[in-house]
Amino acid sequence: MVLHPSTDTRTLIHPSASVFFAIRGPWHNGHDFLSAAHAKGVRRFVVSEPPKPGDPWHEGCDVLVVPDVLLALQRMACAKRTAFQGPVVAVTGSNGKTTVKEWLARLLPQHRAIHRSPLSHNSQLGVPLSTWSIEAHHDVSVIEAGISEPGEMQRLQACIRPTLGVLTHLGQAHLGNFNGPAHLAEEKCALFKGCQQVFMPEALRDACATHLDAAIVTWANDNDPKAHRADLRVHVDTSAQALSLHWRGASAKTSVPFTDIASIQNACTAALVALHLDVKLADVAANMADLTTLSGRLSSTQRARGGVLIQDDCNHDFGSLRVALSALDAAPDAGRSLALVGDVPQSGLNASQRAQQLAELAKHHRLSDLWVWAPSWGAEAETALLEAEQDKPSGAPIAIRVFRDMDELVTASNALGSANVLVKVASTDRLQPAMQALAPARHVTTLTLNTSALVNNLRALKAHAGAEGVIAVIKGLGYGTDPVLLGRLLEAQNVDWLAVAYADEGVVLREAGIRARLLVLNPDPSTFGTMHAHDLEPQLVSTMHVQLAKEWAEANEVDGWPVHLKLDTGMHRLGLAPHEDEFVETLLQSPALELVSVMTHLAGADDPELDDATRKQLGAFLRRTTERFHNVPRHILNSAGAARIHEWLSASDREAHAPVLTHIRVGLAMYGVGPGSEQVGLENVLSLETSVAKLVHIPAGEGSGYGFTDAVDHDRALAVLSVGYADGYPRALGNGRGQVRWNGHLLPTVGRVCMDMVTVDATGLDVHPGDRVTLWGDRPRIDDVAAQASTIPYELLTRIGPRVQRIVQR
């Protein structure tokens, strides 16, 4: 029996009992890693490319050759699903899938053994890997499914085979590859084939009814004209963060810790499913008050003593724990690797069995220390944990400690030196004192980067533009984020080139161990030696530039130094003029240089009024590179050009200009920002947040801050935020021009933005010191904030100060 399917050699568990599925993806071909899997001990493989004679990896191995490796994985996972007899709840929607899945788990009783997808693993690959982990002892399985193209949902349905379905939301603005809302509804509903009931907001019923054979169960706000059709009626009082639930003749009141409409809708959808699964209305209402906003992601921050702290805010189960431990395995070596893990009460196992399962997981990961936070454990469970660990198959033993006292845990955390640390506990556990000891907060203002969203955006842009290759631009310190982290992430995606502005940026990436091809867009000839020593590839922008590169390479007996050429097609900043092409072509015949790509830059691709000029640049680039420089990749599409390509270029023109549209060169669009981002369906990647430092009550007629500006004729409660223009929040956003989001509300700025502080109007709201507020993210978007500040998103990102703490979210 296959115990462990694997598609990534970096996260192999039990290699001798694993099957490696060599999947072809948009960035990787798993067949390129067969030898690496074999070297780690894998002896079972599923491939679509038959082994060649002499390939050492398949000798003495079981090799299954199939036409579609991913489909084979899905069908094998389906066999595992078939053996499970309990209810299987499939969750889909344009957004809110992970939140509803996690909140449903919170609303179900602790004694229920709940299986669910780890994190937001809802793709063609994530679904079968999630399904694989269903065990016979589970009471219910909750699996989320996401699609980006028509036809994908049928494969996921065949893998999950749900008995119950949940539809969270149907988006209108992010239709992507779907031909309108009706087509999207039809594709989403394909997941629910064979379901007994499908749960959704009443507002979605009419769009879905014709696509479903199952009974439709809904909830509705009681002011909805069609609320009489709903099974669960909800009265929402956002001002008091209160809900009244009416279900089958009974009523209950509850409060929720949020006021934004999306969160309330997700909470009501989760409550509807929990009620159907026989949770009492009073219990649902009580548990809804404890719901907290979830990202559904792993996040990591640098530890001051060395290493990283990885946190997971999803509900705690063995499936998500496996994923989190794999993330810890993949972290750069810090000399020590420690997991602080909580008990798993919703597993359906008794305490001793849970302890044994934790030990079984730990022994197959690169752990030096396992700390278990289990205040309710007795001596029997602790003994079971220690005894199970004695069977570790290889390597140094893991140091195990069980903590029942918070002071003891904090003391141990304070004494911990350099180490990579994973904290994975149930969401109801409160370990902030220990987490503060493990990684003391350096600054309350944080910039969070969602790496999954960034990768998804890159894939979406590539597909949208019909490109074959990608040049990922990470200049300007990674647009104010973390260039080394971005470099590692994008290198793992096998992009064709990483691009930086200057040689020193490339040197930083090389010194961090990044080996991807690196293009330097603005190299100074004085740095040619440094660039060659670090395997950096210069973009040459003038005849003098090319001449100096040729002379330097020949003088230093360099053979075939890869260089790129820039042509000026109308921007008139950098690049060769048309009359210089022939001379440069002669220079490039030197064996000291090797031309590897030719590019130009679009000057107005972000502005629809300049589309004629953009098309003119495209035509000029095609003509010049057809005559010369045509045997290498030719790229013109920047972020705006790639995102808006279907707006400024007809299908026939795209076909005619195909030779120069094979690659996209994107930077800002990777973050889900800029013109065309909504049309492509790009996700927000970056969120800038800070905390409320103090509440101040201001009498009518008095202003606030420097100059006593913004005086009004009524009393106010103002919230002072721990952020200012030294952190990158523009001074231009003072006096009400800017807004920040707190708990679903947009709060206007009051007075001037200071170096370290911003004041916002919180009158009439229950704001407290320590509350988190969003300066930009999903709402308000950075595009809107930039417009309010009369600037562009590029400037806001690159001005984020160094004291702002960068957080990575997977």
Q: Which entry of 101, 475, 550, 566 is annotated as an active-site residue? A: 475
The Cα angle at residue 797 between residues 792 and 802, in degrees rounded to 5? 145
Q: Are 527 and 534 in contact (CB under 8 A)?
A: no
Is 479 designated active site? no
From 159, 101, 96, select the one nearest 125 (Cα to Cα): 159
Q: What is the rounded distance in angstroms from the CA atom of residue 724 to the CA atom of residue 720?
A: 10
Largest Cα–Cα distance of the chain, in whole Å? 89
What is the C-alpha separation between 643 and 648, in angstroms, rounded?
A: 10
What is the 3 state secondary structure string of 562-593? EEEEEECCCCCCCCECHHHHHHHHHHCCCCCE
Task: Tell me the C-alpha distance between 74 and 682, whole Å.
Answer: 27
What HEC string does 466-518 produce? Answer: CCCEEEEECHHHHHHCCHHHHHHHHHHCCCCEEEECCHHHHHHHHHCCCCCCE
Which of the residues 253, 616, 694, 706 is marked catalytic?
706
Identify whether the C-beta of residue 234 lies closer than 8 Å to the C-beta of residue 256: no
CB 288 within 8 A of CB 107: yes
For residue 79, CA distances in Å to 1, 324, 407 come to 12, 26, 47
For 176, left (φ over 0), alpha (ψ -120 to 50), or beta?
A: left
Strands (E), 40-163: 44-47, 62-65, 88-92, 114-116, 140-144
Q: Within 13 Å of residue 619, how many CA atoms lie on the same side as its CB?
A: 9
Name the one residue in this structure whose structure tokens are 């007809």: 650
Active site annotation includes 706: yes
Long-range CB contacts (within 8 A, 24+) of 42-51: 42/6, 42/12, 42/15, 42/16, 42/18, 43/16, 44/2, 44/18, 44/19, 44/20, 45/19, 45/20, 45/21, 46/19, 46/20, 46/21, 46/22, 46/72, 46/73, 47/22, 48/22, 48/24, 49/22
Q: Could you tell me which residues are beta bridge partners of residue 471?
A: 497, 665
Residue 702 CB coordination number (10 Å):
12
Number of Cβ within a 10 Å radius of residue 396:
8
Look at the block and give the residue holding tokens 């001596």. Answer: 379
How many other β-carbons are positioned within 10 Å of the β-carbon of residue 56? 11
Residues involved in catalysis = 475, 706
